[in-house]
Amino acid sequence: MAHNLLKGKRGIITGALDENSIAWKVALRAHEEGATFVLTNAPIAMRMGEINKLAAQTNSKIIPADATSVEDIEKLYTEAMAHLGGKIDFVLHSIGMSVNIRKNIPYPELNYDYFNKGVDVSAFSFHKLLAVAYKLDALNEHASVVALSYIAAQRAYPFYTDMADIKAMLESIARTFGYHYGKHKKVRVNTISQSPTRTTAGSGIKGFSDFYDFAEKQSPLGNASAEDCANYTISLFSDFTRMVTMQNLYHDGGYSSTGVSQEQLDAMK
């Protein structure tokens, strides 16, 4: 159900690869809530062509940008503001990639070139999105910037390898840039720590199905879906949360506060 929560707001949505992507669901909901926005992804991801369907459905322009390139990001903001007719009110960072995970390399044996690549794509890109906006003065006051994280930033998960460290950095960037941008222009910056979700990035992790089922049993409300994550993200883009900033917000059906569920104990009998 739509409530016009984002009526008149302009945004940039990264990371919609296919219809399973969390960013894809956010774009659909943002459109329903009255926002106008541009979609962006790495030029290589465009080759699949899926994003064109989303652009048509949401009446939005696609501006390719590699999130590791400051030059591409400058072009992204400049073209987005020209196309949308003003400064930006919300930005979604929905970008994650680890070659170490893709290649199933265990944590004690991490390849540092791959690690560097993962940091660049999945964490520095968040700093760059914020730093370029800051430099170009591309965001309106009280604009909301959200990135997606995972609880491996706080707790050890063997399968999440270097992405655990990378997500810890992502969450730290939200806090530290949130301070600077909050002081500067009242811009707020948060991360959402999302349940395991069946997407291309998620399913690329070894044993994803097992820990998806584990989290489902562990969480009193069950795993939060991509659609639920989109709704939560919309609330953070809306004016109802205009004083929320520098937070890592768990969106996980209660998983992060549960020691052990009765279902897990029963399963061990």
By CB under 6 A, name the binding residues for ligand NAD: 14-15, 17, 21-23, 41-42, 45, 66-68, 94-97, 121, 148-150, 194, 196-197, 199-202
Q: How far apart are CA 240 and CA 252, in angstroms?
A: 21
CB of 101 to ligand NAD, least distance (A): 10
With respect to ligand NAD, which residue has the nearer C-beta, 22 or 143? 22
> In this complex, which beta carbon is closest to ligand NAD, that of residue 140 or of residue 154?
154
Token pair in block for residue 58: 């949401």
Distance of closest approach, residue 21 Cβ to ligand NAD, in angstroms: 3
Two tokens, residue 64: 């390719």
Between 117 and 185, CB nearer to ligand NAD: 117
CA 250, CA 59: separation in Å to the nearest integer? Answer: 31
Q: 93 pairs with which residues across the strands?
A: 147
* Residue number with CB closer to ligand NAD (194 or 238): 194
For residue 223, the minimal CB distance to ligand NAD (Å) is 9
- Least separation in angstroms between CB 229 and ligand NAD: 8
Task: Provide the minimum distance between the beta carbon of 183 and ligand NAD in the complex, in angstroms, as a whole number.
Answer: 26
Query: What's the min distance (Å) between Cβ of 86 and ligand NAD?
Result: 24
Whether the CB-CB separation of 35 and 11 falls below 8 Å is answered with yes
Q: Which is nearer to ligand NAD, 25 or 266 (CB)?
A: 25
Q: Which is nearer to ligand NAD, 199 or 245 (CB)?
A: 199
Label each residue of 112-159 as H, E or C: HHHHHHHHHHHHHHHHHHHHHHHHHCCEEEEEEEEEEECHHHCCCCHH
- How far apart are alpha carbons 25 and 84 in whole angstroms? 21
Which region, left, alpha or beta, applies to residue 144 given φ > 0 means left and ψ of -120 to 50 means alpha?
beta
